[in-house]
Structure 1
Amino acid sequence: MVSQEIIVYSDYVCPFCLLAEEVIAQATEGLDVEVRWRPFELRPAPVPTLKVEDPYLPRVWRESVYPMAEKLGVPIKLPTISPQPRTDKAFEVFAMAEEQGAGHAYSMATLKAFFQQERDIGDPNVLADIGEAVGLAHQAVLDALADGRYREQHQAALRHAVEEAHIQSVPTLIIGGETVQGVPDPLALRRFLTERA
């Protein structure tokens, strides 16, 4: 079976990105598929990030996130951190993790840290902890964030997402040139991958 690639554009403050990972895991079980994560900041500076106290977040979670999470069996909760953290620093560490072959593991650990452990993924020390958990050196993460070693790399990835891939929302999956927006149905995704194999 020919190896396929799923490119997932995501933001670490998007709960649907964590749910999409569960769908992808179910749909690709036993198939030769490589999943590659790519950054897309929903609210890059200076755009204000969302606040839990505003009605928008609780409503979206009540109407969409929690029902979908329950259906998929994914533990998730609306973090009380307010305003929500920016994700540029988290994505700088992603660039470092990707270099070391740990991009997928890091993305999953970061989504879970925010949505299951309510950790502030805008805090360099939290990011260093997450990085260490997937094999990065704790101090190396802090040093890279302090000197902005991966800042330009992250900005280039963002430009690619917007200008070349034309990403407008997350999660967006790219599979062999086909674009799938939002959280796909696991059975439909598996059927699509199997037909392409």
Structure 2
Amino acid sequence: MTLKIRVYSDYVCPFCFLAEGPLEAAAKEKDVEIEWMPFELRPYPTPTLKPEGEYLQTVWARSVYPIAERMGVKITLPKVSPQPYTHLAFEGYQYAKEHKKANEYNHRIFTAFFQEEQDIGDIDVLTKLAGEIGLNKEEFKKALETRKYKEAHQKALEHAYHEAHITAVPTFIIGERVLQGLYSQETLEKVINEELQKQQTQVSDEKL
């Protein structure tokens, strides 16, 4: 029985990007299904943060850069100012999900923002990135321009805020376990193995 893993994240959250590698390594060759779930830290019209501001400068200097260095991950505080809203990128995620490229899209958006400093709030940028992972650029752009996936994205947010009660990202829901924050590959692997074992035990009990 496949173990479901849900990861709630926002594309402008550096810790969510840093969480990607350890999770993929921990899940490798295991019977798991990873689904990335949308969460907007600052939904429109809440003002987004500016990279030159004291808050982001401090968080990155004290936390993001040292952690990324320890992990061996290349990451940059993007100069895009103010930081982009992420609803359009997430509407694009709904399109990618429908076309079986959700995880590839997710990874490309993260690397575009945190390694290449691209403006992931811009439809043309998002369309270019979608094309790079093999999605139909014309269809994708039209879907964003017409807001075809606005409702699907809003439903995903409602679920995150009011049903899953997510208050911070990244948050992992691994089987019945909830982990909030950035975790090592070893910790994630331990939890995944425990939850897989629990599922197998439940299945065995049901057969008796």
TM-score by length of structure 1 reads: 0.96
Find the counterpart in structure 1 of residue 81 from structure 2: 82
Q: Deviations over 1:3-48 (max 9, x none)?
A: 2121011100000011000110221223222210110000001100
Q: Deviations over 1:148-181 (max 9, x none)?
A: 1001111111111101010111111111121110
Q: Residue type of the partner of 1:140?
A: E
- How far does residue 193 in structure 1 lie from its aligned partner after superposition? 1.2
Q: Residue type of the partner of 2:137?
A: H
Residue 112 (structure 1) aligned with residue 97 (structure 2): no
Task: Indicate the structure (1 or 2) with the bigger Cα radius of gyration.
Answer: 2
Q: Deviations over 1:88-140 (max 9, x none)?
A: 00000000000111111101100000000110000101100111122211111
Separation (CA, whole Å) in 2 of partners of 1:66 and 1:123: 26
Separation (CA, whole Å) in 1 of partners of 2:123 and 2:195: 41
Identity of aligned residues (%): 48
Find the counterpart in structure 1 of residue 177 from structure 2: 178
Find the counterpart in structure 2 of residue 32 from structure 1: 31
After TM superposition, what 4+ stretches of structure 1 lie above 6 angstroms from structure 2? none
Preserved CA contact (<8 Å) 1:94 1:107: yes
Find the counterpart in structure 2 of residue 168 from structure 1: 167
Q: Where in structure 1 are there 5+ consecutive unaligned residues? A: none
Separation (CA, whole Å) in 2 of partners of 1:28 and 1:73: 19
Separation (CA, whole Å) in 2 of partners of 1:137 and 1:77: 29
Please, what is the CA RMSD of the aligned residues?
A: 1.0
Q: SS in structure 2 opposite 1:132?
A: helix
Separation (CA, whole Å) in 1 of partners of 2:114 and 2:32: 26
Separation (CA, whole Å) in 1 of partners of 2:177 and 2:28: 20
Q: Deviations over 1:59-104 (max 9, x none)?
A: 1011111111111111101001110000000000000000111111
Q: Residue type of the partner of 1:92?
A: E
- How far does residue 195 in structure 1 lie from its aligned partner after superposition? 2.3
**Would you say how many aligned residue pairs link Structure 1 and Structure 2?**
196
Q: SS in structure 2 opposite 1:170?
A: coil
Separation (CA, whole Å) in 1 of partners of 2:55 and 2:87: 23
